[in-house]
């Protein structure tokens, strides 16, 4: 009888310890699955002149499948008449959700494209309750995002851009004459991309409207020499947003590489690394 009682006490104690361990394990696992507010901030990706649904796609694939940094969860497509079509969403507790923005009218002016972006941002704010975003813009996409930031400053109907990355964005315009004689380069955007254009001068003129709390990273490519830059945008032009933002806000990275072409920058793994470090503090070995 005494042995039986002792056995029961040992069994109960064992069950208690196992149960407590399972509770602690579940609690610890649940805490790990709860992401910080910074980790759930969406990042919007804005293509440049003549960009399409293919823009950034291979970058998304690398971010998702090679580095496991996050996932593209949402796509906004803005039609030529300003209708916004949405696929996907922002899953709760999704780590680093990516949002792709596609403009069907991919040759429109900087201001018209900015107006399209405002439609997207307003939907994110009011329908999806997104208050903060990070933003990445390639080429003219960086100009559009900068223009948006200046015009949206102090307005509560848009999310706040906390960090901005521009990749090969021509803040001083595209200097190559052959760019404008190319028959494929047509549309209002071409006028805006010229050096000393009204649209580019306007960005500089309204620099005081640029939110001083936003951290900015400008990424430039140099294939052969700085004057030619990435083959389309010179080094000077790609880093000229330093004239718009405050020095304490601004960082720059230069990719010196034969593959650091204008269309190749967002396919470059060094650019991936700069994005990961700047937006999410990820340092790849």
Q: What is the pLDDT of residues 139-195, one digit of tens each?
A: 999 999 999 999 999 899 999 999 999 999 999 999 999 999 999 999 999 999 999
Strands 132-138 and 43-46: parallel
Assess whether pLDDT exceeds 80 at residue 208. yes
Assess whether pLDDT exceeds 60 at residue 279. yes
Q: List the beta bridge partners of residue 218.
A: 166, 252
Give residue 9's pLDDT. 62
> Considering only 10-14, 173-177, 237-241, 243-247, which range has the smallest mean pLDDT?
10-14
Return d(Cα 44, Cα 263) in angstroms, integer. 19
More confident residue, 259 or 284: 259
What band does 283 get if pLDDT is binned at 50, 70 and 90? confident
Nearest partner of 237 among 256, 218, 213, 209, judged by Cα: 218
Return d(Cα 115, Cα 120) in angstroms, integer. 9
Nearest partner of 76 among 40, 108, 44, 49, judged by Cα: 44
**pLDDT (mean) for 222-240:** 96
Give backbone dihedrals phi and psi of 71, rounded to 5 degrees, phi first. -150, 140
Nearest partner of 238 among 103, 126, 143, 96, judged by Cα: 143
> Considering only 10-19, 62-71, 126-135, which range has the smallest mean pLDDT?
10-19
Q: List the beta bridge partners of residue 34.
A: none
* pLDDT tens digit sequence for 65-105: 999 999 999 999 999 999 999 999 999 889 999 999 999 99
Give residue 272's pLDDT. 97
Give backbone dihedrals phi and psi of 217, rounded to 5 degrees, phi first. -125, 125
Helix (H) or strand (E) holding 88: strand 84-88
Q: Considering the chain, what percentage of its residues have pLDDT values greater than 90?
A: 83
More confident residue, 27 or 138: 138
């Amino acid at each position: 009888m005494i042995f039986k009682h002792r056995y029961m006490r040992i069994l109960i104690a064992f069950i208690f310890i196992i149960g407590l361990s399972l509770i602690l394990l579940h609690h610890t696992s649940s805490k790990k699955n709860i992401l910080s507010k910074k980790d759930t901030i969406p990042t919007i990706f804005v293509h440049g002149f003549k960009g399409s649904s293919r823009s950034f796609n291979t970058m998304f694939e690398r971010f998702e499948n090679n580095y496991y940094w996050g996932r593209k969860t949402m796509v906004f497509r803005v039609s030529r008449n300003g209708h916004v079509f949405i696929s996907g969403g922002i899953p709760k507790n999704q780590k680093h959700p990516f949002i792709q923005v596609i403009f069907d009218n991919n040759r429109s002016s900087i201001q018209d494209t900015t107006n399209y972006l405002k439609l997207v941002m307003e939907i994110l704010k009011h329908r999806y309750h997104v208050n903060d975003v990070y933003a990445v813009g390639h080429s003219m996409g960086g100009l559009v995002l900068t223009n948006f930031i200046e015009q949206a400053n102090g307005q509560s109907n848009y999310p706040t851009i906390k960090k901005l990355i521009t990749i090969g964005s021509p803040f001083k315009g595209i200097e190559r004459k052959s760019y404008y004689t190319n028959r494929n380069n047509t549309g209002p955007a071409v006028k805006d991309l010229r050096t000393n254009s009204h649209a580019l001068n306007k960005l500089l003129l309204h620099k005081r409207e640029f939110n001083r709390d936003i951290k900015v990273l400008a990424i430039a490519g140099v294939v052969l020499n700085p004057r030619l830059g990435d083959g389309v945008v010179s080094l000077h032009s790609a880093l000229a947003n330093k004239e718009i933002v405050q020095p304490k806000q601004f960082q720059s990275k230069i990719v010196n590489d034969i593959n650091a072409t204008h269309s190749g920058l967002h396919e470059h793994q060094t650019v991936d690394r700069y994005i990961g470090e700047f937006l999410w503090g990820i340092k790849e070995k």
